[in-house]
Amino acid sequence: MVWYVVFSLIVTHEPGVDNYRWARNQLRQIVGPKLRYVSSYQSVILYDLDEDPHEVAREIREALRGVGTPIIRVIPVDYVTDPYISDVVEVVREGIAPKIPEGTKFRVTLEGHLYAVMEDGSRVRMHTIDAVREIAKYIDRPVDLENPELVVLVKVVKYMRGRRKAGISLLKPEELRRVSP
């Protein structure tokens, strides 16, 4: 299994081509040329950067606080892999879980669908709760669904001509909130 980052920022915005243009313009003004466009579909734009995506996402949220914007969320991405449960579990077990301090309460949030690969090679879409339980069992920390200190976010997005990728992030709950309440 290969982990790679083909995008490191997921930006969601209000629907519509005008909102898409407005969001892209605002992001260019705030972040500048270090933000590289990767792909987009519906109300999702994927970007890549050479800098810490958590810091850039924080910078964007702060710049947009109290300002009119079509941008809904700016989500930093730590790892990207294929949307198969075995790949996601490997990333979580080896890349995410060791970063969660002992005793820290966490939650797993899955946006989109993951697949299991059967012995015959066929793909089967997993139920969300089954995928979340499978991911969570590799994190030996207390689970808190209501008040977690950290969130393991797995967001499945379309990437380049309809292929799907799973962006996996270890986030503080405030990193998932709307940009401009």
- Same domain for 38 and 124, yes or no, is no
**Residues spanned by the domain of 134:** 80-176
- Same domain for 106 and 64, yes or no, is no
Q: What is the pTM of this model?
A: 0.92
- Same domain for 86 and 111, yes or no, is yes
- Same domain for 17 and 64, yes or no, is yes
Looking at residue 90, its pLDDT comes to 97
Q: Of the candidates 76, 98, 132, which is a domain's last residue?
A: 76
- In this predicted model, what pLDDT tens digit does every residue of 19-53 receive, in sequence order? 999 999 999 999 999 999 999 999 999 999 989 99
- Same domain for 103 and 170, yes or no, is yes
Residues 6+ apart with CB under 8 A from 108: 132, 135, 136, 139, 151, 152, 154
Q: What CATH number corresponds to the domain at position 58? A: 3.30.70
> Does some domain include residue 132?
yes
> Does some domain include residue 1?
no
What whole-number percentage of the chain has pLDDT above 70? 97
> Does some domain include residue 159?
yes
162 pLDDT above the threshold of 80: no
- Same domain for 59 and 94, yes or no, is no
123 touches 129 (CB < 8 A): no
- In this predicted model, what pLDDT tens digit does every residue of 61-91 receive, in sequence order? 999 998 999 999 999 999 999 999 999 999 9
5 pLDDT above the threshold of 60: no
- Same domain for 169 and 89, yes or no, is yes
What whole-number percentage of the chain has pLDDT above 90? 87
> Does some domain include residue 4?
no
- In this predicted model, what pLDDT tens digit does every residue of 130-143 receive, in sequence order? 999 999 999 999 99
Q: How far is CA 155 from CA 4, 30, 169, 176, in A?
A: 15, 24, 9, 12
Q: What is the mean pLDDT of the chain?
A: 93
Looking at residue 159, its pLDDT comes to 83
Gap between the Cα atoms of 152 and 106, Å rounded: 7
- Same domain for 103 and 71, yes or no, is no
Phi then psi dihedrals of residue 24, to 5 deg: -60, -40
103 pLDDT above the threshold of 90: yes
- Same domain for 26 and 39, yes or no, is yes
Looking at residue 149, its pLDDT comes to 98
- Same domain for 51 and 109, yes or no, is no
Total domain count for the chain? 2
Looking at residue 4, its pLDDT comes to 54
Looking at residue 74, its pLDDT comes to 97
pLDDT band at 108 (very low <50, low <70, confident <90, very high): very high
> Does some domain include residue 84?
yes
Phi then psi dihedrals of residue 14, to 5 deg: -60, 150
